[in-house]
Structures are given as structure tokens and as C-alpha cells.
A and B are shown apart, each in its own frame.
Chain A
Amino acid sequence: MSLLSILIFLPLFAGLIIVVLPSSVREGYKYVALAAVIIQVLISAYIYLHFNGNVFTGIADQNKYQLVERLPWISLNLGAMGKLQIDYFLGLDGLSMPFMLLTSVVMLVALLASWEIKINLKGYFALFLLLDTAILGVFSALDFFLFYIFYELMLMPLYFLIGIWGGVRREYAAIKFFLYTLFGSVFMLLVIIGLYFSVTDPATGYHTFNMLSMMDPKNYVEGSIFSALAHNELFGVSARLLGFIVLFIAFAIKVPIVPLHTWLPDAHVEAPTPVSIILAGILLKVGGYGILRVCVSIFPDAAIQSAWWLGLIGIVSIIYGALNALAQTDLKRLVAYSSISHMGFVLLGIASITPEGISGAMMQMISHGFLSSMLFFLVGIIYSRVHDREIPHFRGLALIMPKFSAFIMIAFFASLGLPGFSAFIAEAFSLIGAFNSESINGLLPRWMAVCGTLGILLSACYFLWTLQRMFFGETRLFGGEKWKIQLTDVNAREVTALCILTAFALVLGIMPSLAFDKMNASVLELIRLVNLK
């Protein structure tokens, strides 16, 4: 067992412990989970510190990955058809390593937010930890089949977490979320199978699900469906382009992009606070990570072909999401739409295929992971106190909840890209990369980046407006004096969680090299790979 496997299966193990524990110790469940997540944070911190980003660039070469673990898993002899081989294949490079750390930290925060969960604790914490395992698995799997299994495994716990512990319309939201995501991934399975029959392992000569082999055009069987040389067409479209589009849609639903985003506000609003945190903090990043790891790496030619459209989708998401956020009266919906807007920068950065753009996109994902978790955590605090989060129902909260207001100001200003916080670096470099693209590779026109800056302006508008409406002025509450008593300021547990997130956002904003140094070489390698085509 390598460190990576321990990291992945530790939560599962803890989950099993919770399942077998008698319900007389139900108050202890959360501490078991907490212990598991803390160990997980420590392991990922260890991995981060020992990660050598410059030598081990990753992307298409197994030897350049760290903590590689490759074991034959399913091996079937199919006679004349060769051998069906699925590997248990894990590894980390500069693209995935930051997400391991992000996942661990966000999980810790989500767990701290889970203190508010009161019903059916056993089921809740078991599912929570199962979800944790699945997410860590997605970020480290290098075998496409394994990746897919983890990817699908994420859905099931989420469905129950939203559907059982959620808000009023939880069933609707859960089923919508589940079907939407499943819709994307079912077609993904088709492409995976197509890729399997197109690619052979150079070592054994058999077909393989190995993602790294899929990145090398030499491994494609001559004349196979996804071979770059064969120029196969399906329904009048180049097969490789079609494969790219299908995979892209699967991941783009997760990101989410406009117009495939409508599951997100519903799911976020109905989900309990910790699940919102996980959804916004990590799940959306699975989409962005998938686009980089799978779409762009395996179909670089198609990625270049469709870069313009990717950029356009990014811009539309940025502006559309921001304008929608401006129209919200529910604080949680506002944050959900702001997520859509901020994830647009990710897509824009990726589409540029420049070092600045992709690094910016990576940074944006990490930074948004921390900041959106913080925002949802803060919204959850208000909701747990008075079970209301309509913006017009609150006024002058700064007077009765000063510490809370300080945190919300930090979160808002960090999210709207105030320098000193990570989002500023991320957004600035996504945009710089996008602008630079026309000079370097001619993929994105310059006006896209210029339009993207509007998103920065609009984010200031909706955040400041909310700040003014809810927190400043004389205190006036919808629920009157009763609310005034219920709205207590943040307690020690909440302060801990919020401080962790603030610290990460701040440190990354002041010393972005902490993240950039680890992923720089991988980003360059990815760009080299794309430009080979």
C-alpha cells in the first residue's frame, strides 16, 4: 500500500468503522470522521511538502509521476480478442497534487460544518466519508476505467446527502443533480470504450484503459476510431472532435458552464451546508481537472480546434453568472451564481493554452475552492441560526454579529478579487493568459479577455450591494427581536474553520509561488504536449 492508497481508503475505512459502531455511541461518529479527515490533511500536507514539481512533470509519462502505484486489477483472458486489462493505477503530478490538498482541507471544513447535522448521523457520516474516498480517487486515478468508477462513485453519496439531509425541495434537487451528471457520464463511458479499442499498451500490445497511453498518438491502432491519422468521421463530424465534445460536456456539466448550469443553484440551495461546501469547493473542480487531464491531454488537436468556443463559453459563463447573481434575493443562490461566474475564468484560462492562462485557471480553481467553501459556510451560519437567508430580511447585521461580518467582508472582498487574496492572482492571470493567446497561438481573440474583465466589475457590484443591504445600516430584521437573540456571533468551531480558509486564501494571494512552483512544470509539459499536435 502506498501513501496514496492509504490516503484514498482511509476515509472509507473510517466510514466502515462508523457503520459497525453501535448507535449508542452516535455522538462519537463525528469524532471518528474528524480524526480520519485530520490524518488525511496531514498526509496530504506531507505529500505537498515532499512534492518535487520541477523534476516530476507528469502529464504523459508514467516515470514523471510521483507516488505511482500500478497493480493489475481486472485481468480477463478473452482468447482471440487479447486480454482485458484494467489496472489499479494511481499517481500524482502538478495538476492533481494541489487538488489532493484542497480536497483534504475543504473536507475538514465541511466536517466542521457538519456539527449542525442532527438526524441519522450514522448514515450521514458514512456517506460523507465514502464521498471523500471517491473524490480523492478521481484526482489520483490514471487508469480511465478506475477514474470512471471513482467518478460515478461520487454521485451516489451526494444523491443521498442532498436527498435526505437537504432543504424543502431536496428530492427535486437531488434527482436533478443526479440525472444531469449521469447524463454526461453515460456518454463518457461510450468514449472510454471507444478509446479502449483504439489504444494499445506499448509494453504488452493489448488494448488498455491507461490514460497516459491514450495521450501518445503512437499508441493508437492504425485505422481505429480515435486514431489521429485515420481521420474517422462519425455523423459527419471528426471522431476525435466528437469524442472531445462528449467528454467536454460530461465535465462541463460539473464545472458548470452556461447553459448546462441549472442543476447547480438548485443543488446548492437545497443541499445542507457541508454538502454545499463540498459541491462548490471540490466537485466543480473535478470538472475543470477533468477537462485538463482528459479532454485537453487526450484530444489536444480537438482542444485547439474548439478553443474559440471554449473561450466563448467561459466569457458567457462569467458575465451571465454575474448578472444572474445580481438579480438574486436568496443569499445562497447568489453565491451559487457567483460560482458559475468565477468558474468561467477557469474555462477561459484553459482555452487560452498559454502558461499564464492555464496556471491562472488552476489557481482559480484552488482559490475558488477555498473561497466558495468559506462563502457557503458563512451562509450556512446565518441559515442555521434563523432558517432564513433572504437578503431583504436582514439589515445591519454588522452591529449584532461583528466577527461574522468581518469574516463575510473578507470572503466577499477576496472573492471579488481584492489583491492580497488568491482570487486576484488567479483572475488576473486567467485574463492575461487569454489576452496573450492571440499573440502566442492565435486561439482566442483579444476582445474575449477584455469582456472577461467585466466579470470583475460585476462581482464587485453584487457582493458590495449585498454587503450594503444585509450588513450595514441600522439593524432591522424580518424576525424582529427573536432573531436578534438567535443571531449569535460565530463560535470557536466556526472561527477555526473560517480562519483555516482565510489563511489559505491569504497565503496563496501573497505567496502564489507556493502553488505555482509545484505545478509550473506540469503546466508547461501539458502545453508542450498540446502543441505537438
Chain B
Amino acid sequence: MPLLTFFINVFVPGKFTRSGFCAIASIAISLLCSLLIFIAMWNQPFIHVQTNWFTIGSWSLNVGILLNNLSVLMLPLVSGIALLVHIYSTKYMQGDPYLHRYWAYLGLFCFSMLGLVIADNLLLIYICWELVGFSSYLLIGFWFTRNAAVQANKKAFIMNRLGDIGFLTGIMILFSQFQTLDVISLFGEKGLVGNAIVTGGVWTSGLHHMPAGWLTFAGLAFFLGAVAKSAQFPLHTWLPDAMEGPTSVSSLIHAATMVAAGVFLLARIYPLFNDTVLIVIAATGAFTAFMAGTIALTQNDIKRILAFSTISQLGFMILAMGVGASASSLFHLGTHAFFKCLLFLGAGAIIHEMAHLKEKTGLDYDPQDIRNMGGLRKYMPVTFVTMAIASLALIAIPLTSGYLSKDAILIESFEWAEGKGGWYRLVPYSAMITSWLTAFYISRLIFKVFFGKFRLKEKVGLHHVHEAPPAMKYVLVVLSLFCLFPVFSLNPFMFEDAWVIQGFPQADNMTRINAFHTVVPAAVNLISVFLIYLCFLWYGSNKPAPDFSKNGLFKFSQQQWFFDKAYNTVFVAGVLSFSRFLYQFDLIIVDGIVNLFGTIGRGFARISDWFDRNIIDGLVNLIGYLAGKLGKLIRKFQTGRLQQYLVTMLLIILTLFIYKYYTAAI
């Protein structure tokens, strides 16, 4: 029975993509199936069904479906959020001339994302992984006449490709070492990866071995894949640009689901990572979280703020993976999916209204710039309340879901650092600072958008602005319910009681240090509340906010740490000029040599032509000439006079006679 539902689950979204209704119906069926599977499978032993796909040499590739807690958690999460976004899109995308393509792309995305979470084979995961990237490419560039959008989707795909080659390299290493790509036999209990041993610099599994460096390399390669997909430093720059796509897409793909695929991958292949790789993971996560948090402080585009916030939160998840708190990481993945999706959809509703306003009034302004907004609380109350709840969850205020998951990560990273000591403590402290930054930038957003006075009021009346249409409004309300604690845990203060955490194996390498469990949340929350208040003072009232724009740090943050510029000048321009150089090399040197041979050949031909004409033909002509001369000479004998003939004959005979006579003597 589960098998049948899987098939519906997997193939339905891909198939009926012509119109919105079919898309919604199919994704709803998917959700239903996912929920059934979830209820049936949660905390049950895993199910693994396989079928042979193809055979190369003596090696058969079996692909199939693997359902364990990880995948059955992701299934309803993905399909649930996808369903809500689908419903939301019916209004948001209304009237777009290419709407059927939109549904088709969304269907492709849902198909590949669901495929990704249930695939049992690394190659299959890779396939879905790339298809997810491809559908994201299509959706970012959905408005393909906009130059920025097509630049952004190219960038997103290429950066993801960079991660893909890491993933592929990892696959090659594992295949070469273990001759299988099956997730269970590799990473399951008593899996091959677990049984492989590293001794004396050699990584051995059965008969196969390779230098131990390849183990680390494999871990790093897979991590590179995750870095690209989950937009971590140094490959994070595609995500803010990806906001060029429709907001509903940003919400589904670039906030809730696809970007979480990297975290999901890390969870799937967790046993592969050795200590070195884990430290790299933790450090990358912490740094990314901090960096993105600082950038989000100064952005003015509402979607960009949220994008950097996403990067920052993904950094938290990656960090949690690195410190061994994979359960908390997945927990945060789940909670974040809801509140970030909500924030984006709310932002979408605002942008929708602002864009309508722009159309009606004919004014030219950027509908996404928060400097143009303000005071919207009175006109869009539902949006305001739901977004406020989501923001509180993002800040991790008690009673919200974010509190449970983020504090879990913070506490566990403190415990991890305590076990390691030294510089490792930088990781949890930077995470803590980041969560304060979070409080600041999200409250800045909320206060600027919803409080104070509408900043365009002098030019236009506000009576055009009104609440989002029902399809959008109720989606926001549903999502906001998922931002509250009871969905995840009955105890609002203890993350360990959350059912998600209990569904995964606990990290056992840390000792529980009770002090952290009270001090850390308290510290985080007190300072966060203070920061929120500060934000309110600065941005929530009508008084002008303090101006930092002359500050060097401000510029550094506003320019997003200059990553884009650096990448453009170093990598893009570098590769392009190198390729132009190579092309010139190809034309001038490589092809030049070929043409040189041609020229030399022609030169030789000319020489031999000359030789032929003058020497060889000359010889022939010379012989002819000589024959002619001889003939002329002999002609002189043909005088016709008999006496002369007789004399000549006599002379010849005499000569012969003399010759004969003397030769005989000799």
C-alpha cells in the first residue's frame, strides 16, 4: 500500500501541470499521501523498496525508495508548504500570461524535491538534486524578459553546478571505495562507511583501500554540494539574487524547502564525516550565519533582508550539523520552513499591494523597498499579525517554535565547545551574537513596514492599500499557527521534549551541562528584547532614525561584504579573459601550426615545381636540344653528292680499321 501512494506521490505533481487547479489537486493528493505515510511510518522501522535500473558491467544500479524518520518528516513538510504556496499563488500570480508554465515548473520542483527526500541511492539523490536546481533556475528566470532575473538564474545554476561537481566527486569516491551507492548499505547501521577503518593513513573497506586523505576529501566534496545548495559561504551570493523570481517561489524554494536540501543531504550521509570535516562544517555554518546576519542589518529591499536572514538561519542548521546536533538541526529546518515561508508570503502580500499602488498611481518607485513603506499595520492587519508572529519565532522568543529549535542549537553548540575548549568557543559565541543580530534586523523590517507613517503618503492616498485577498490571507494564518510551540512540543521551554528531536538519534558525544540550558536562552532573550525595543525607538516611531550610512562598517555590510564584486572581478572576468586568451592561442598557435604545415607544404611544392621546370624538365629539354643539334650536324653530311659520300665512307672504314687494329694490339 505505501508503494502505491509513493507512485501517486511522486508522479502526480509532474504530470498534471497545465492549470492551477490540477496543480493544486495533485499537490493536495501528495500532501494527503505524505501525511498518511507520516502517520504510518513515524518512529517505525524504515522501509526500503528497490528495483533494478540498469547494469553496467557486472555492477547493477538499484534504485528505490527509502523511508525512515528523516524522509517521512520531510515529506509532509515539503508537500504541506508546497500546497499552501500553490493556493497562495492562485491569487499572487493571477493574470500572468505564462501562468501555465508557472504551474508546470512548480510541479517539476515538487516532483524533484519529493524525489530527493525519498531517494535511497546517492545517484538518485544527485539526479533529483540537479532537477531541483533546474526547476529553481526556471522559476527564478520566470520573468525571462527581465535582465536581472536571467542574470540571477544563470548565477544560481552555475553556483549550484559548482556544488554539484563536489557532490559528484563525493559519489565517485564512495563508489570507488565501496562499489555501491545505496544509502542504507553505506550509511545504515553496520553500513560500509561505518565499518571502513582508517589505519596508518590508509582508508580500507574490504578489499578496497585508498589514502585516508580521500575520506576527508569525500566529506568536503559532499559538503561543497551542501554549501552551494544551502547558500553557505563562499557560495551564498546566488540566493539574494534569486529573489528576482516571483515571491511565492522565493518563499517555497529559496526559503523553506530547496535550500534545506543541503542540510538534508548532510543528515543523510552523516556517518561519512570525520572530525576534520565536522569542524569545517561547524565553522562555515557559524561564519555564514554571522556574515549574513550583519548584511541583513543594512539592506533595504524587503526580500533581500529575508534572503540574508535565510542564509543566516541555514548557517545555524549547518553549524548544528557540524557540532553533532543533527536532530536539532533538522528540527530547526522544520520550524524555519514555516516561519520563513510565512515571512516571505507576507512580504509577497505587501509587495503585491505596493505594486498595485504603483500601477494605479503611475508613480515610479521600488515596491520592494522598505523605505517606501510604513504604517501598513492599520491597512493590512492580518498580514501584520502573522508576520509579527513569524518574526518572533525567528528571533526565538519563548512560546514560539523558533525558540525551541534555535535554543537547542545554541545550547548544544555551547556544550560542544565546552568539550573542545580553546578557539572552538568562537563558534557558539558568534552564533549567539548572530541571534541578537537576527532580533535587530527583523524588528527593523517589521517596524519600518508596519509602524510609523506611510512614507509615500505625501504623493498618494493610502485608501488603495487593503488587506490581501482571502487565498493569500488564510495561507498566512495557517502558517502562523505552525510558528507556535504546541505544534512541536507540549512543553514550550524544553527543546528535548519536542517530538521531532525525539525522533532522531541523540548526539551522545556531549555531556549535558545544565547551566547552559538556563543561561543561554535567558541571555539570548533578554538582549533580544532590548534590541527589539531599540528598533522600535529608532524605526517604529515617526522620528528619523539615526544615520549610520557614513560608517565604513555600514558600507561594508550594505555592499554585502563585497563578495559579488570580488567574484565578478576575480572569477568571472578571470575565466573569461583566460578563455579568450586560450581561443587566441587556439587560433594563432595551434591552428597556426597547422596552417604553417600547409604553407610549408606549398613552399615545398613551389620549390619542386621550380626544380621540375628548370632542372628535370631542363634535362629533358637539353637532351632534345642536343638531339636537334646532332641532327643538324648530321644533316650537313646529307649533301647528295656521291663523291662526298664515298670519302666519308672511306674515312669511317679507315677509322674503324685503325681502331680495330690498335685495340687488337692492346
Contact = CB atoms under 8 A, between A and B. Distances in A.
B594 A262 contact: yes
B25 interface: no
Interface in B193-241: 208, 210, 214
Interface stretch (A227-235, A373-381, A429-437): A429-437
B177 A439 contact: yes
A123 interface: no
Interface stretch (A83-91, A104-112, A451-459, A483-491): A451-459
Contacts of A51: none
Nearest to B587: A262
A390 B584 CA distance: 18
Interface stretch (A113-121, A241-249, A318-326): A318-326
B134 A418 contact: yes
Nearest to B601: A179
A259 interface: yes
Interface string A176-209: 1001100000000000000000000000000000
B165 A418 contact: no
A473 interface: yes
B89 to A, nearest CB: 22
Nearest to A395: B147
Contact of A323 (B57, B130, B146, B578): B578
Given A461-B158, A472-B144, A453 B168 contact: yes
Contacts of B618: none
B59 A453 contact: no
Contacts of A324: 579, 582-583, 586
A432 to B, nearest CB: 5
Contact of A456 (B147, B168, B171, B583): B168
B412 interface: no
Interface in A212-270: 258-259, 261-263
A176 B598 contact: yes
Interface in A297-351: 320, 323-328
Contact of A513 (B53, B59, B165, B210): B53
Contacts of B582: 320, 323-324, 327
Contacts of A355: 56-59
Q: Which of A176, A258, A436 has the most CB of B within 10 A?
A: A436
A436 B176 contact: yes
A450 B590 CA distance: 26
Given A324-B583, A431-B172, A457 B145 contact: no
Contacts of B154: 464-465, 467-468
A167 interface: no
Interface in A362-415: 396, 398-399, 413
B576 A326 contact: yes
B579 A439 contact: no
B591 A429 contact: no
Contacts, number: 148
Nearest to B572: A461
Contacts of B208: 439
A399 B145 contact: yes
B145 A435 contact: no
B169 interface: yes
Contacts of A418: 130-131, 134
B169 A450 contact: yes
Contacts of A263: 594
Contact of A457 (B127, B146, B158): B158
A326 B168 contact: no
A456 B161 contact: yes
B606 interface: no
A439 B178 CA distance: 11
B100 interface: no
Nearest to A515: B54
A460 B158 contact: yes
Contacts of A419: 126-128, 130-131
B141 interface: yes
Interface string B132-167: 001000000100111100110010011001101100
A448 to B, nearest CB: 11
Interface string B578-608: 1110110010001101100010000000000
B522 interface: no
A446 interface: yes
Contacts of B523: none
A446 B209 CA distance: 13
A472 B578 CA distance: 26
B41 interface: no
Interface string A459-497: 011001101100111100000000000000000000000
Contacts of A516: 54-56
A527 B57 CA distance: 10
A397 B160 CA distance: 26
A468 B583 contact: no
A512 B54 contact: yes
Contacts of A520: 55-57
B176 A439 contact: yes
B21 interface: no
A498 interface: no
B575 interface: yes
B36 to A, nearest CB: 28
Contacts of A126: none
B145 A474 contact: yes
Contact of B127 (A420, A464, A517): A420
Given A324-B583, A326-B575, A520-B56, A472 B141 contact: yes
Contact of B158 (A259, A261, A325, A464): A464
A261 B527 CA distance: 66
B173 interface: yes
A420 B131 contact: yes
B55 A454 contact: no
Nearest to A464: B154
A396 B145 contact: yes
B580 A428 contact: no
Contacts of A461: 158, 575
Contact of A524 (B57, B144, B576): B57
B46 interface: no
Nearest to A399: B145
B172 A436 contact: yes
B657 interface: no
A287 to B, nearest CB: 17
B175 interface: yes
B576 A435 contact: no
A449 interface: yes
B394 interface: no
User: Which of the listed residues A258, A259, A356, A460 has the most CB atoms from chain B within 10 Å of its own CB?
Assistant: A460
A327 B576 contact: yes
A51 B214 CA distance: 42
Given A262-B591, A327-B579, A436-B176, A453 B55 contact: no
B590 A262 contact: yes
A267 to B, nearest CB: 12
B162 A468 contact: no
A470 to B, nearest CB: 11
Interface in B37-58: 53-58
B123 interface: yes
Contacts of A413: 134
A456 B165 contact: yes
A354 B56 CA distance: 10
Contacts of A527: 57
Contacts of B145: 396, 399, 472-474
Contacts of A432: 171-172, 175-176
Contacts of B578: 323
Q: Which A-B residue pairs are the 6 nearest by beta carbons?
A: A355-B57, A419-B127, A513-B54, A327-B583, A435-B172, A453-B165
22 contacts: A259-B590, A259-B593, A261-B590, A262-B594, A263-B594, A323-B583, A324-B582, A327-B582, A360-B56, A398-B144, A418-B130, A435-B172, A436-B172, A446-B214, A449-B169, A450-B169, A456-B161, A461-B158, A472-B145, A512-B53, A520-B56, A527-B57
Given A355-B57, A513-B54, 5 more contacts: A326-B576, A419-B130, A435-B173, A453-B169, A460-B157
